[in-house]
Each structure stands twice: as C-alpha cells, then as structure tokens.
A and B are shown apart, each in its own frame.
Chain A
Amino acid sequence: MKYEPVIGLEVHIQLNTESKLFSGTRAKFGGAPNSYASYIDLAFPGTLPVLNEEAVRQALMFGLAINAKIHPFSIFARKNYFYPDLPKSYQISQANYPIVGEGVLEYEIDGQIKEALIVRAHLEEDAGKSLHDLIPQKTALDFNRAGCPLLEIVTAPIFHDAKETVAFLKMLHRLVTHLNICDGNMQEGSFRVDVNISLRPSGEQKLGTRCEIKNVNSFRFVEKAIAYEIERQASLLDHGLPVLQQTRLFHEATGQTIALRDKENAHDYRYFHCPDLVPLQVSQELLNEIRQQLPPLPKEVIAQLQEKYELSSAEALFFFEQPSVMQFFEKSCSELQTARPKAVANILLSEIMGYCRKEDKSFDSLGLIPRDLALMAERLADKTLSSKTAKQLLALLLDGATDVDALIEKHDLRQLQDTGFLQKIVAEVVQEFPNQFQEYRSGKDKLLGFFVGQIMKRTGGKASPEQIPELLQSYK
C-alpha cells in the first residue's frame, strides 16, 4: 500500500458504579430527563465535588488487569470550556498525573497474540446530553449523565488497519465487562471510541497529521470510519493537499466522517489542578486489597483453558473473548464420558465461527446444543463420520436440526468402513483406470488423490479415506 495508516484510540468507558464520580446521585442509564441531577451535578453556587471511592477501585482494577504502573499520587485537573451541557463550564478530569500509567493488553488476531500498549487511563466525569431535535429551534438539555464516572483509556498509535483496531477493541470490551467495571452497552454509550488516525507514506517514520473521529459507538462503525478516513486522507495526499487536523464525527447514514466546525477545534482548556479536590493517594494496601478482589485475570483464565483443554494460546484467548462460546465449549466438553476438547474447539473455531462471520450471524442466534457438538466430535473420532459427512451433519445442525445420532441415521451419514464393500469399489475404479493405476503402483503417489476422489464419487463421499491407500496397494 502506498500509505500506512497509523491509528491510536481513546476509549471512554462508563464505570459501573452506583453513584456519579463526584456526587452521590444515581449513575445508571435511563430515567426521565433531569431526574438524576443533583445540585452538585448542576453546578449550583457553592457546591463541591467529593470523589467516589468505588470509581477509584474500578479504575485500579483495570490498571491491575493490564499490569499497568499505578501512580501512587494522581491529580484531578479542570478542563475549562463553555458548553451548555457542561454545568460547571469545566470538566474535572486528570491531565498530567493520571491514576493509571502504562500497561499492556493482549489480543488475538488471525490466531496470533498481539500486545497493545496502553499509555494511560484516567478518571473523568461525563457531561450531560444535548438533544437538538427534541424541540423545534431549541436544544434540550438532559443532565442525568452529567457527572457520571468515565475511565478514559488511551492507547499508543500502534494499529495500522481496521482489523487489528477492532480486534483490540473487542478484547478491551471483553476485559472491562469481565472485570464488571463496565456494562459494555455501546448503544447506551457505555463504551465510546475516539479514533485518531493519520497516514504516512509506507516506510516513513514521521507521523502524518491526524484527525480524531469522536464517539464511535459500534465496532462496525469503527471499521467503516477507518475505511472512509483512509480513503479521504489518501485522496488528499495524492492530490498534494494537506490533511487538516480536525475533530470529525462518523455519520452512519452516509458512512462518511464530517468535520466539526473549526471553531470547535480550537480549544485552549486552561488545565489547572482542581483546588476543590486533594491529590488522590493509592496505597500498596489498597492495591493488594483490590488484587484479592479481582476476578481471575484474562491471562489466568486463558492459561487455565489452555491447560485444561490443551488449546493453543490463540484458541484460548478467542474463547476468553467470547464468553458465550466459551460457556458452550465447556459444557460440550462435559457432556460425554470422554471429552474431546481439541476436536470440539476445532469445529467451533474453524467451522462454526467461520460460518457466523460469513453469514453475519451471532453465535447465540444459532441455537446449537452442546451435546450435539460433543457427539459430533465423538462420531468423528470413532470413524462413524468421515470429514465430509461431518460437514454435512454440521450443515444440518446449523440449520436448526438436533440429535446427532438420529441425524446420522436419518441422512445416512455413516462413513463406509465395510472393507469388503470398499474392495469391490476399489476394484471397479482400478479396472476403469488401469493406466493411472500402473503409474500409481510404480510410484506416482500424487495419483492417490485421484483415486480417493473416484472412490468418493462412487460412495457418495462416504468412504473412509484412511483405508484407501492400503486397499490400493493390496489390490491384485
């Protein structure tokens, strides 16, 4: 490719606390407008912020889960700007001294494990919502969200295409929901992605001018936004035009990103330490306490899966990332006396997930039964099914059918293992292709495939392929 995209992410997750970051108001989504907005949230005169300890704990859980440096002191800063849905006309955030420093998040892509560098994560409060289309010629303000706790997670600019960006995001999403610090509901704005993207000529080290695409709230849109931006920026660069540093929004209807008015791009936030809050101290004791309370971290869960089921790390990571598939898998493995985890994993990961991607369906929507997969693996192992008939069986299962043994009978999926019968077929084929048979017998091993193919044709794909070479060799 002529240009290399360089992508960094800022992800805002809404923490799963009862109350807002600096007031005791309920912090859950929904509710009649302005029914969850106290005088503190509304910045009434004389009101002051008081830090929510649970939010701190959840931020620390995230930091520990990505093995990040936790700063023993961090400072809350005021980010000053005027906007109607920002009650204090400043947002309390963290600037130079965030609570969480550098950490690493592993994610899986195409069977490989990659490490994503997370530069920092900090606490900040959310703003209210401006609704421009509710009342004609007016903007309606709903402050329910004002003051809700956010953790802003910032990655280094380490991604180079939409695929890895989304793979990372999905893993991040999985992590924060696994830790129960975020409900992950992207429609409700619990997990918002800002994509910073620039292009540079391939091979060049220097970064190009980047644009920020704000508040993308689905993985699909992230992909589309990145695709559009790459094209847009490449086109500019091809024509020798500069890429302007802009904040842009993704419009789902058009699939394009649109720049916000320039005025909104030029902000001097006049950051300074918020004098209403004292520096946040995190002690080793607190960290140890939180470490105890963490659920098993991804690395542990993944290692356990690997060990228990003899999976590769990529396979295990994949399962971790997809809890419902993992649950299905584990259930499957416990259905029969003898578990065949590798086989079941293989069917799930290569066949079924591939099907889901192709047909754009979710795993849960397939309605598969764990026992069926367990039996399928069993029947493959005991050679009742050939790989071809197994595929046929799977197609039936994916269509909604169930009860493997019954289906095998009903659709005649048994692999042909009857040696006598096979010998007859082999004889037929050899007699039809005597020349090829000569060549094969005198060493042209490549022709095995040809004979297997012929035999499969005559047996409707049901011959057991393992027997064929021996039968061919022993034919007289």
Chain B
Amino acid sequence: MSDWHKKSVAELSNALHQGDVTSEQLTQHFLSRIEKYDNNLKCFIEVCPEVALSQAAKADEAFKNGSASVLTGIPFAHKDIFCTDGVRTTAGSKMLENFVPPYDATVTQRLFQAGMVMLGKANMDEFAMGSSTEHSYFGACRNPFDTDFVPGGSSGGSSAAVAAGLAPIATGSDTGGSIRQPASYCHLVGIKPTYGQVSRYGMIAFASSLDQGGVLAQTVQDAALMLEAMVGPDPMDSTTHNATGNPAYSATLEQGASRYKIAVPKTFIDAMDQEGQAEFHRVLQLLEKHGHQIDFVELNIANIVIPTYYVIAPAEASSNLARYDGVRYGYRSPQAQSVEEIYVKSRSEAFGYEVKRRILMGTYVLSSGYYEAFYHQATRIRAILRARFAEIFKNYDFVATPTALSSAFKLNALDHDPIAMYFSDLCTVSVNLANLPAISLPLMQHKGLPLGFQLIAPHFEETRLFQFSYQIEKMAPWSHILSPIKSSQ
C-alpha cells in the first residue's frame, strides 16, 4: 500500500518527473482514499473522478512529451467557492445546489494550465461565512485530528482534506481568516496573499474588499509552488495589482535574511490561556535563539477589529448576495407565485441562518440613518488600522501573533453563540482589513490539537514571508505530525 498521501507536493512532483509514478496512479490513490474516508469527514461537496482522471491523463501525456512543469499532474482539492466550468459549484449553499458554471474562475484556469488535477470541490461554510464549516448546507466537515472537533472555516473542507491525506494540497479563500484559521486547526501551512495578488474573477464573492484566494499546504515550499501559479494581474478583475511581476516564490526560499525584526502585539497573547501563552512564547524563544529579534509592541486593536470586520464584511456581503434572487440562475422556490414571492421564498428557503444573519446585519449598517455611525465609521477605523500596521512595518519586518487564541472547538459547541464564533477570528481579521499578506505555520499544540503561528508581512512581501517561514520550518520541522487518518494508511 503506497504512502503517496504522506508526501509533499514537491516530493510528488519529483516522483512524477522521475517516472516513479504516473499522475493517473496518484489520482487513483487519492480518489480511493476519498472514497474510503470522506463519508465520515465530509471534506468534499463534489468529487469529480472523471474530470480528475482525464486531467491526469493529459498530465501523463505532458510527461511523455517533455512539456511537464513542476505542478503538472499534482492532484488538489479546490474550494467550492471557485467556479469550475462544467463542474457543480455551490459555495456550500442550497442556493447554488444545482449550479454548474459555464466558465472557470481565473484561479481555476491558472491551476489547470499549470497541469494540476482537480480531485473535487472542497466543503466550506456557506458563502464563506463561518469559522467552522458547520454552516455548510451539505453537512459539517470534521477535523481529521479528532473528528469531534471542527476543522475550522470557511475553508474547512480544504484543510481537512489535506490533513487527512485526501489531497496533497488545496485552494482556499480568506476574508477574515478562512484559510489561516483552518490551517491552524488542522496543522497546515495556510497562506493568504496581499489583497490584489490573486484574481477574484470566478471566486464567488462574499466581501469584495477583503476576499482573497490562497493555499493550504503541508509545507512552505508546497504553498510557494502553488501560490506562484495563482498570483498575477488579471484583466477580468480590476482590483488585481500588477506591480510585482511574476514572482517565483519557490525559487528564492533559501535566500532569507539571518536576522529579522519581529513585532509581537501583546493584545492577542494576553487573550490566550496559560497553555497557549506558554506555547507561543516557546516559539518566540526558538526564533530568538536563531538570531531574530522579538519586540513586544502596543497594538491595542483587539476590541475594535471584530466589530469593524463584522460591519464591513456583512455590508459588502448583503450587496454581493443580492443577486441570488431566483430570477436568472440558482434556486427558485417552487412555491413562488409572484415576483415578490420569487425573491422572498427563494432567499428564505435557500440561505442558511448565518448567511441570513449577515445579510440582515449588512443591510442594517448600510441603511439610511445608520450608514454614518456604522459602515462609514468602520471604513475610517479600517484606514487607521492600515496606518497602524504601516507604522509598525517601518521598524519591523514582520508582525507575529497566534493564528487563533486556542485550538479547534468541538462541533456544535458554538451553535448558540454566534458572537463567540466571530471572536475566533480575532487574530486574523485585522490582516484582511489592512489588505496584508499573512501565513499560518503549524508550530504549536494546544489541548492536544494543532494551533497555528501567524506571521504578517507588509503589502506584497510574500517573498520575504515565504523565506522566513521556510527558515522556521527548518528550525522546527512539523511534517512528522500526521492526523490519525493520514497516518492510518
């Protein structure tokens, strides 16, 4: 029985290029594991063996005629927020339960062009709204380290799939932490690049000024390999940036500096429990030991980031989700008898509670009489936040925080406390609000489960982020820790 699922993408790529295995064999390997384990985990909303095997065959052709590149033939899980031509794309919602896009998202196109093989569409919180993947219409996803616990969200299906060895790598999207937090809960590397790096065309919108596509991977190198295939300006997305050219993150991993200056805001550490704080300090000490400078700074934002985020994101979401009205595509209530009923019944029947909650919040904060006090105020705070980070980055190379205050919580634990759920994003949302790049590294343990360590860099400094992360991975290799499912062959 082969253990391809314990290998990184880099290792698989070598194996493919050396002819030790074909893409078809690899794909079959992962497809059988999905068949075996996914019923219990629910990492996938849609598994597409036909598409995968046909892509694998194409990849194997490329190996034969020498046109293969580093990602050719590598299987991946694709978060179901990215449109895939001919393959159902649901965004985790009943609203799009039967929606088959006639176009690919730009991210999809680029990964397919790189020769990757799509195993299936990964489970997610409905319309990316959530931190646990419990809000998926298709059923909750479970954490492979302990299936009583959540894998995080909204990219929970992606993180669980990689952690369980059902895919070697996965795409995700991150609006307030939806790549980094699941990566943290599932012992993975999760990277959210600078806003504007990855095209949002075809990525179903939640909060347009915060959303960003990214990667959940086993190693820093893997994350670099996949992210570099995704980034770059796109004429179909006006918010993509064209200043950074074609960065080859994977080529410069070894070129980091020997001494980085790292700012650590006390605000988040103080909110952790003793075990968490001890773990975090342990990592800081490790970094210091290797010659890096750690300074504790004041960044008293803990009390404002969550409200600010939960005003801006729902506001944009309320507008972005208004198009789901049962008129042109998606769910239309069979009971609807009038235009008004098409709207009201379709949306009432096809949106889950969390989505409805956020649409209500968003509509409220934008409405006349409240716009100034809520939405406009939040945008001002956002500008201040950006300025605060910019101030810090004048003197520091990175900001370091825990990715979350604690490890994964149990399924259904926060069912009746949506606000507590929101606060699990405390350490991650400020990054999206400031449009910065950040990575979560699987360096800590908390209550017997994984907990991530987050590094935040200035705008467009992904290269530096990868370089330092790569160094840290060498300092404290984590790949030996496997989820029970991954280690059970």
Contact = CB atoms under 8 A, between A and B. Distances in A.
A42 B329 CA distance: 9
Nearest to B369: A268
A276 interface: yes
Interface size bracket, A side:
20 to 34
Nearest to B322: A89
Interface string B105-143: 100000000000000000000000000000000000000
Interface in A89-138: 89-90
Contact of A49 (B101, B102, B238, B366): B238
A50 interface: yes
A89 B103 contact: no
A5 to B, nearest CB: 29
B319 A278 contact: no
Interface string A27-56: 000000000000100111111111100000
Interface stretch (B2-10, B195-203, B224-232): B195-203
Q: Is the interface of A mostly helix, strand, loop or mixed?
A: loop
B334 interface: no
Contact of A270 (B99, B202, B328, B363): B363
A42 to B, nearest CB: 5
B322 A275 contact: no
A440 interface: no
Contact of B99 (A45, A87, A88, A272): A45
B245 interface: no
Interface size bracket, B side:
35 or more
Interface in B309-340: 315-316, 318-319, 322-323, 325, 327-329, 339
B360 interface: no
A43 B366 contact: no
A364 B327 CA distance: 47
A80 B236 CA distance: 23
B238 A272 contact: no
A50 B238 contact: yes
Nearest to A50: B238
B329 A48 contact: no
Interface in B324-369: 325, 327-329, 339, 343, 363, 366-368
B99 A48 contact: no
Contact of A45 (B83, B235, B318): B83
A39 B322 contact: no
B148 interface: no
Nearest to B344: A82
B205 interface: yes
Contact of B204 (A46, A51, A80, A268): A46
Contacts of B339: 84, 139
Contacts of A43: 323, 328
A353 interface: no
Interface in B83-103: 83, 89, 91, 96, 99, 101-103
Contacts of A44: 101, 103, 328-329
B375 to A, nearest CB: 6
Contacts of B327: 84, 141
Given A42-B328, A48-B238, A82-B322, A268 B83 contact: no
Nearest to B99: A45
B383 to A, nearest CB: 13
Contact of B375 (A84, A272, A275, A277): A272
A174 interface: no
A78 to B, nearest CB: 6
Most chain A C-beta atoms within 10 Å of own C-beta, residue among B319, B368, B375: B319
A88 B204 contact: no
Contacts of A48: 200-201, 236-238
Given A39-B102, A46-B83, A48-B237, A272 B315 contact: yes
B64 to A, nearest CB: 35
Interface string A332-361: 000000000000000000000000000000
A231 B441 CA distance: 74
Given A45-B89, A270-B363, A275-B209, A50 B236 contact: yes
A161 B374 CA distance: 44
B239 interface: yes
Given A46-B105, A84-B339, A275 B238 contact: no
A98 B372 CA distance: 20
B371 interface: yes
Nearest to A40: B236
B362 to A, nearest CB: 9
B28 interface: no
A48 B204 CA distance: 10
B179 to A, nearest CB: 18
B377 interface: no
B208 A80 contact: no
B323 A88 contact: yes
B152 to A, nearest CB: 23
A82 B343 CA distance: 9
A44 B205 CA distance: 11
Contacts of A88: 322-323
Interface string A272-303: 10011110000000000000000000000000
B325 A89 contact: yes
Contacts of B103: 39, 44
A277 B366 contact: no
10 contacts: A44-B103, A45-B205, A87-B328, A141-B327, A268-B368, A272-B315, A272-B375, A275-B207, A275-B209, A277-B239
Given A45-B99, A48-B200, 9 more contacts: A43-B328, A45-B96, A50-B238, A88-B322, A89-B322, A90-B322, A268-B367, A270-B319, A272-B319
Which 3 A-B pairs rank lowest in CB-CB distance, beginning with the nearest?
A89-B322, A275-B209, A275-B208
